Chains A and B, each alone.
Chain A
Amino acid sequence: MIRFLEFAGRPLVFFVEECGKILLLLLSTISWMFRPPFRFRVMIKQMEFVGVNSLGVVLITGAFTGMVLALQTYHGFRMFGGESLVGATVALSMTRELGPVFTALMVTGRVGSAMAAELGTMKVTEQIDALNTMSVSPIQFLVLPRIIAAILMLPVLTIISDFVGIVGGYFVGVGLLKINSGIFMAKMIEIVDLEDIFNGLIKAAFFGLILSLTGCYKGMHTIGGAEGVGKATTQAVVLSSILIFISDYFLTAVMF
């Protein structure tokens, strides 16, 4: 029985250990945040990578999420004559939940994995050791700009995702399913508060922290050669996604 518990509990212990180490990296990163030199140029470059370069996937994901949401809710709501609520449901779902979570998951796949791969390659080719020998902190030079860029850019991407999602929902609801445009908009404005949008953006910033921190952590702790980099990349995406879902529940419970 004890053996079974040991076997079953090992992944949980590993998960908790990983979370603890990620937290230590966060504390170390915070301690470097207020020490010069401040690397604005590196940060802007990372903001471009995280934000501008992710725009395409976020636009497509956001638009189709809003569209499918309108389609699904229309068929459900029609059973009891609630088609007028489709716009509000799409907007509320996008701003509170689907916008931040789907954006974070897409950016995790694109950016979190790239961070783990880039830093992992630097680790196994001793480039991170080289930074240390040149008296440059890898945390300040590599980790901090990536984390700040992700925290700043995720809310921006989420706003865009929310917007195109609602536009997509409008297109399907009003354009294809012939819901009255005035009712669609009126209900949406009536039910969705500014707080819903704002809380969704706080979630997005938090998810940005999670995906960048996890990507950097996995990269900085890569061992082995190309195989190690591959493992680190996969683990970064899986762990970030799990942490995003878990933290989403708790953030939702606290915020709404």
Chain B
Amino acid sequence: MIKLIKISKSFNGQKVLNELDLDIDPEEITVIIGQSGGGKSVLLKHIIGLIRPDSGQIIIDGVDIANLNDKKLTETRKKFGMLFQDAALFDSMTVGENVAFPLKEHTQLSGKEINKIVNDKLNLVGLDNITHKMPSELSGGMRKRVGLARAIALDPKIILFDEPTTGLDPIMRDSIDRLIVSIQKRTKATFVVISHDIESTFMIAHKIAMLYQGKIVAVGTPDEIRSSNNSFVRRFIKDLKAGVRDQGSGVSSQESGVRAC
């Protein structure tokens, strides 16, 4: 469904993505992990066409979106929903208006039908009776839930998550993780999650892809990754757990073993 082929991207001469290849299977949760500042968000924004690659192809349902014009790209984006790191709720709108926004923009539904969908989606993410509240009145976890309700409002085939558990306390983090898993089971959509949180990753992922120095260096199921004896994978996980930045970590993509890319 989603295929990234030799994607390269540089900013001010610094290479962030370097001939990156990745296949993302449909109806699964794929988690891309990597260290902070390693290009995870840039990769996610390539998938939805917010950033165009310097070279390479991004195939979504058989169509290369890397070179689509704005009009066609806008059409393609209707297949996507996205939950941003800080939810990116429109702060001039109420919670209800936020969730209703994509429905009002892209459907001909009546106000009554839209209200019903808004309430259904908010219930699905575990929120009740908050449609009238402003985003500024919500906690971090609630904002993410509302962001998720907005992302799934149009029942998209692909949902992208930009560090969904960053900035949350452990209890809220587990709650969001469980929500991601349960919503994926219900919607059967393709979920692409980027994270540097290894515990969350093992909890929610069907497949894990490791991003290091602009490339996907290893891909595997959580069990494969967890039980891997490969020194590179083990050090990668250890570094992520320790929150160590990649400079000077000494790991080499040559050492990778678990379905190394």
Contacts and interface: CB of A to CB of B under 8 A. Distances in A.
Q: Do A and B come from one complex?
A: yes
A133 B80 contact: yes
A195 interface: no
B74 A137 contact: yes
B77 A135 contact: yes
Contacts of B91: 121, 125, 127
B188 interface: no
Contacts of B119: none
Interface string A94-136: 0000000000000000000000000001100111011011111
A195 B229 CA distance: 85
Interface string B54-75: 0000000000000000000011
Interface stretch (B10-18, B100-108, B241-249): B100-108
Contact of A129 (B50, B81, B102, B106): B50
Contacts of A135: 74-75, 77-78, 105-106
B82 A130 contact: yes
B84 A132 contact: no
Contacts of B90: 122, 127, 130
B210 to A, nearest CB: 25
Contacts of A132: 50, 77
B102 A134 contact: yes
Interface in A227-252: none
A170 B13 CA distance: 64
A121 to B, nearest CB: 8
Nearest to A133: B82
B74 A125 contact: no
A127 B50 CA distance: 13
Contacts of A133: 48, 50, 77, 80-82, 160
**Which of A125, A127, A130 gathers the greatest number of chain B CB atoms within 10 Å?**
A130
B164 to A, nearest CB: 14
A126 B77 contact: no
A136 B73 CA distance: 11
B84 A129 contact: yes
A121 B136 CA distance: 14
Given A133-B50, A134-B105, A135-B106, A127 B88 contact: yes
B86 A125 contact: yes
Interface in A126-160: 126-127, 129-130, 132-137
Contacts of B80: 133
Contacts of B74: 135, 137
Contacts of A37: 105
Nearest to A137: B74
Contacts of A125: 86, 88, 91
B128 to A, nearest CB: 24
Contacts of A126: 84-86, 88
Contact of A134 (B45, B75, B77, B85): B77
A169 to B, nearest CB: 41
Nearest to A128: B88
Contacts of B45: 129
A125 B90 CA distance: 9
Given A127-B91, A129-B50, A134 B101 contact: yes
Contacts of A129: 45, 50, 84, 88
B107 to A, nearest CB: 12
Q: Which 10 A-B pairs have the closest CB atoms?
A: A130-B88, A126-B88, A133-B82, A135-B77, A126-B84, A135-B74, A134-B102, A135-B78, A127-B88, A136-B105
14 contacts: A121-B91, A126-B86, A126-B88, A127-B91, A129-B50, A130-B90, A132-B50, A133-B80, A133-B81, A134-B77, A135-B75, A135-B77, A135-B106, A136-B105
Interface of A: 37, 121-122, 125-127, 129-130, 132-137
Given A127-B90, A135-B105, 16 more contacts: A121-B91, A122-B90, A125-B88, A126-B84, A126-B88, A129-B84, A130-B88, A133-B50, A133-B80, A133-B82, A133-B160, A134-B77, A134-B101, A134-B102, A135-B78, A135-B106
